[in-house]
Amino acid sequence: SNKIASGGTYTFTGAITGKISVDTTEKVTIILNGVTITGNDGAAIKCQEGSDVEIQLIGVNKITSAVDSDGINSEGDLTIAGEGSLVVKADDDGIHADGKLTIKNGDVAITAAEGLEATYVVIDGGTLKITATDDGINAANKSDKYSAKVEINGGDITIDMGQGDTDAIDSNGDLC
């Protein structure tokens, strides 16, 4: 099973059909090292409420969510880091966190309805390419722990979004 029930570091490689689920509030580090995850029931990576998860990227990694789902969904805080790459394809949000979503580095390409969505989105570095039919980056109140904010400190960001009522960056709070 790909269920993580306690804190620690977990490494995944190869092909996974289904999902990786984090069912703990202890600190978890997930190392994706050349992994392809094809979700067949909800998000390809799903983290429970109150979780604190860091995903480290090594090599080329690909995530495809199940129909009408997020690629990665955290009901807590989520950090993406590492020197590898991540390609996410999802019908809903590419990467979603109810709390704080931090992109430290890595080469992240997302094709989804919304690219990144969290209450508090922080981009510190890396290369981010988002193709969205709705908003590229969205800060919306999902958690009482943070105020809605998008904070960009670095990185190379490219956003292509759909026509209509869409925004490249949509902060329902602060933008800094």
Render pLDDT for 35-80 as a digit per residue (tens, 0 to 9).
999 999 899 999 999 999 999 999 999 999 989 999 999 999 999 9
Hey, what long-range contacts does 59-62 have (CB within 8 A, 24 or more apart)? 59/33, 59/34, 59/84, 59/85, 60/34, 60/84, 60/85, 60/87, 61/32, 61/33, 61/34, 61/35, 61/36, 61/37, 61/85, 61/86, 61/87, 62/35, 62/36, 62/37, 62/86, 62/87, 62/88, 62/89
Please write the tens of the pLDDT for every residue from 109-147: 999 999 999 999 999 999 999 999 999 999 999 989 999
Is pLDDT above 70 for 4? Answer: yes
Residue 1's pLDDT band (cuts 50, 70, 90):
low
